[in-house]
Chain A
Amino acid sequence: MPSEGIIDGADIAKGSLEYGEEKIKDFIKQFQDGNLRFIQDKETIDLVKEQRKSNEYALYKKYIKKPELAILAQIGLTLRKLDEQNRTIELQGLRNKIRHKYDHAGLRIAEFVQAHLLTELMTNLLKKEVSQSELSLQVEVFLNNLDRNSCFLQNTHTAEKKAEEIIARIQSQQPDIFIVFSRKSAVPIGKEVAHLLKRKIKEKELNFELECKEEKTSMVIFIKKLPFDIV
């Protein structure tokens, strides 16, 4: 049986506690023996551990080897969970901490995961016959160049202007894959941009193809570079 105030596994002692010095020393003895940890609440730990048990995290772990990217992928799943649960204050607090530690670029990677885009990207890349190490490299290079290789549309954007911008970017940067994402009220802009991109790629005879994936409240456009001999 666990001793007073200590739990094993699922439950954690709560309540206003007034332990005597001897009791605290007893806890410290257990801590120093490696048998006890002092935590705040089980919920925050469980929130993180739950994401680590998900299939998406298993997929990420298989291909993402750089620890910093693995943490951002993991924490992107946590952002998503907080968002789904409308835990706005915690969501903002976590976003601030990500920005503090990893700057804007890190936050963009976590948001990319939050928006399901990393899973979409990896699923898309897995369609090709590539080795695990090749795919790992592609994913890590993509994430490290996220701002160059992706565009998040907003409902204030003008479709024509954005489509022109994207065409200019893919022409100058020649990415293997470029992702355009729209969500909720920006989805109509996303549809219009997809239509315009298709037309412009054809008109300009660019060696890219478009693949669109529309969900209930979001839309992803993959712009993929074709081998030269296909054009």
Chain B
Amino acid sequence: MLQSISIKEWGLKEKKILLRELGFTTDSTFIFTGDGKKVIDKYIDIPVEINNMLILPGSTIIIDNNPLSIASFLEEYPNAL
């Protein structure tokens, strides 16, 4: 069963480990892919900030935590949340 864990209260250190293990880096504000590109929320075209990221399984989708991105994600993956 797909479960959720809130990372809202995680410290920066834990978030950095999480991102590192998933193949990303961070400058403590933004997130970068392995080849140094800023991670952009594909639904609303804004850079995702570490303090407001949602990390969703599948092909490791990182999006901004806002209703428009979530609605767009659910439109693409109706049962994924």
Residue among A13, A14, A32, A37 with most chain B CB within 10 A = A37
Q: Is the CB of A44 within 8 A of B65?
A: yes
Q: Which of B40-72 contact A (CB under 8 A)?
A: 43-46, 52-58, 65-72
Interface size on B, residues (CB 8 A): 39
Residue among B10, B22, B56 with most chain A CB within 10 A = B10
Report if A15 contacts B (CB, 8 A).
yes
- Nearest CB in chain A to that of B66: its residue: A97
- Nearest CB in chain A to that of B75: its residue: A71
Report the minimal beta-carbon distance from B81 to chain A, rounded to whole angstroms. 6
- Taking CB atoms, residues of chain B closer than 8 Å to A45 are 70, 81
Q: Is the CB of A17 within 8 A of B44?
A: no
Q: Is the CB of B57 within 8 A of A24?
A: no
Report if A38 contacts B (CB, 8 A).
yes
Report if A215 contacts B (CB, 8 A).
no
Interface size range of chain A in the complex = 35 or more
* Total cross-chain contacts (CB, 8 A): 139
Q: Is the CB of B6 within 8 A of A41?
A: yes
Q: Is the CB of A14 within 8 A of B6?
A: yes
Report the minimal beta-carbon distance from B44 to chain A, rounded to whole angstroms. 5
B6 touches which of A30, A39, A52, A74 (Cβ 8 Å): A39
Report if A21 contacts B (CB, 8 A).
yes
Report the minimal beta-carbon distance from B16 to chain A, rounded to whole angstroms. 10
B54 touches which of A15, A21, A37 (Cβ 8 Å): A37
- Taking CB atoms, residues of chain B closer than 8 Å to A44 are 65-67, 70
Q: Is the CB of B7 within 8 A of A38?
A: yes
- Interface flags for B70-81 (1: CB within 8 Å of A; 0: not) read 111011100001
Q: Is the CB of B71 within 8 A of A39?
A: no
Considering the chains assembled together, what is the distance between the CA atoms of A67 and B74 in angstroms? 11
Report if A100 contacts B (CB, 8 A).
yes
| Given known A-B contacts A8-B3, A18-B11, A100-B45, A38 and B66 have beta carbons under 8 A apart | no
Report the minimal beta-carbon distance from A134 to chain B, rounded to whole angstroms. 24
| Given known A-B contacts A7-B4, A24-B21, A101-B43, A48 and B70 have beta carbons under 8 A apart | yes
- Taking CB atoms, residues of chain A closer than 8 Å to B66 are 44, 93-94, 97
| Known contacts A17-B9, A32-B57, then 15 further A-B pairs from the complex at CB < 8 Å, ordered by chain A residue | A18-B14, A28-B21, A36-B3, A38-B5, A38-B18, A38-B53, A38-B54, A40-B52, A41-B8, A44-B67, A52-B74, A67-B76, A75-B68, A94-B68, A97-B69
Interface residues of A (CB under 8 A from B): 2, 5-8, 12-19, 21, 24-25, 27-28, 30-32, 34-42, 44-45, 47-49, 51-52, 67, 70-71, 74-75, 78, 93-94, 97-98, 100-101
